[in-house]
Chain A
């Protein structure tokens, strides 16, 4: 059984967790065209080596960030997302057009 350390709940069975994708800066859809939006939605680094990624402890719905080595399957550290996103992200509302504007 593999274990993962949740910053909120401590060491738990990895089956309790959900992988949530790479940590990216968020793209503001109102300021970029369709291509940038497609990249945001589909494209990733998929790096072989150290990566920063989102994980969720499902029973408590707690999202956090893990630093993991995808070549060795070792988790180096896990920490609250507030350590990474120190400022709140907010996008301006656009009246029409959406991602293609």
Chain B
């Protein structure tokens, strides 16, 4: 690396490097078409190319790379879920995240800041104890902490006993982190493109061709693509794209809103979440407070920001951090969250042969980006559903075997 930099510095010309493949004409056939060039789609393409040597892949997106929910989430990475299936899955994702910058040779700005979830009721303390036990059993660092420890972790948190919902205890998750969400998708896309994957932006899937129950092609605004397999990785449009293949999903799409304040000096290190007052907050290394996440109270595909949610998020934030009363909100935005009944994703096989689902990513998609890519790639390459994602198959709803993570999700609906 240092010599490369020196050579580059001594060169007369300093050519910019292409991150991704320049735009190419669409071929008439690919082995695999991945619909959606967000974090998950790029991650699937990356692991298909890297681990399985499958590089004849068209990674298509109706808009641009990482411009959907990958750009709209609050970049939180954690694995302190409740069910064994959930904890195992997200734990492996967090582990992959830890090595990602080195693997890419590209800084994803991983910050191991830890995550603190707050309990404002006895019931919450009981559920935290349960989560901590499950987490520790499965090798995830989680522990129930008292008010004194909370004070040490976040000295600026409002721990007054006179507040409306006094903080009683916390669930401290040392493995919690944040990362630069754009860098994650860029890193995956670059790694995939370097191995021969074709990225096709402004290429919208408009129809799925199925013959004898098996997917054979994708119709796009740039022409028809014949292919051996299709993966849909379109968080925020899972039902809409699924319908193209005739697949009905147990999903309702809600906008989830977040906002960010002006920058301050560094005063809060961990990510702080309160399911009770419905807010989660962390201070970025640039100093801004990222505040999420309020859901609109009814399904919608519109991603406008509303005054209602700004009021709700602000009120909740001031419960925790009264010193932010004068903070100016710089931006507010929304992303469409595909909520499933049990707050777990829908991954794996679909009723259509060789059409694979990576859907239902609700409010938990960013943290799962590496592991969903790795496991979905394995599924596409081998045709076998990896054990890690078997609990998340679509069929679980027909067997009434949901993977209930509603309590371990920070955003409420």
Task: Give the B-binding residues of A (Cβ under 8 A).
Answer: 1-2, 14-15, 18-19, 34-35, 38-39, 42-48, 53, 70-73
Contacts and interface: CB of A to CB of B under 8 A. Distances in A.
A70 B299 contact: yes
Given A19-B298, A19-B299, A42-B341, A47 B239 contact: yes
Contacts of B300: 70, 73
Q: Which 3 A-B pairs have the closest CB atoms?
A: A19-B298, A46-B239, A42-B250
Contact of A44 (B251, B306, B307, B398): B251
A43 B249 contact: yes
Given A38-B397, A44-B252, A70-B301, 7 more contacts: A2-B308, A34-B400, A45-B243, A47-B240, A48-B301, A71-B301, A72-B302
Given A38-B397, A38-B398, A46 B302 contact: no
A44 B298 CA distance: 14
A63 B341 CA distance: 23
Contacts of A72: 302
A15 B252 CA distance: 20
Most buried by B among A19, A35, A46, A70: A46
Contacts of A2: 306, 308
27 contacts: A1-B307, A2-B308, A18-B297, A19-B298, A34-B398, A35-B398, A38-B397, A38-B400, A42-B341, A42-B397, A43-B248, A43-B250, A44-B239, A44-B248, A44-B252, A45-B243, A45-B248, A46-B249, A46-B251, A46-B253, A46-B299, A48-B239, A70-B253, A70-B299, A70-B301, A73-B300, A73-B304
Contacts of A53: 298
